[in-house]
Copies of this chain bind each other. A is one copy, B any other.
Amino acid sequence: MSILTAPNAVEALSALAHGARLDVFRLLVRAGEEGLPAGEIARRLDTPANTMSTSLAILQRSNLIRSRRDGRSVIYSADYGAFSELLSFLVEDCCDGRPEVCSRLANVVGSALSCAADAGDLGEKQ
């Protein structure tokens, strides 16, 4: 059961349904918990600061990213929890009525996440 409501999910999907914003989100996912300052994100993705600010605001409104101020900079980072909730929302329906089809999703997502096992903390962790 996901915590996300359908409207929340639509907002998150809308935020990601845009080439530039998807690039931002993926950059932040790769950047990890420490995140990146807005200006650095704009520079790396070669986007005007005001346009990037709008993109960041849309992603933040959807809860997929967070921000914190650090001096003159505003640091953005991916919200992995919210991202997980979105993924849960997307996959939860496969279990309603047709659990047998879930296995394909489970296998594919599981292998895509095999690095989690490589990192040595899938479930048990150290």
Partner-B contacts on A (CB < 8 A): 2, 6-7, 9-10, 13-14, 16-19, 22-23, 26, 29-33, 80-81, 83-85, 87-88, 90-110, 112-119, 121-123, 125
Contacts and interface: CB of A to CB of B under 8 A. Distances in A.
A87 B84 contact: no
Q: Which 6 A-B pairs have the closest CB atoms?
A: A102-B116, A95-B115, A99-B119, A84-B108, A13-B17, A14-B17
A112 B100 contact: no
A112 B93 contact: no
A30 B7 CA distance: 19
B105 A84 contact: yes
B102 A113 contact: yes
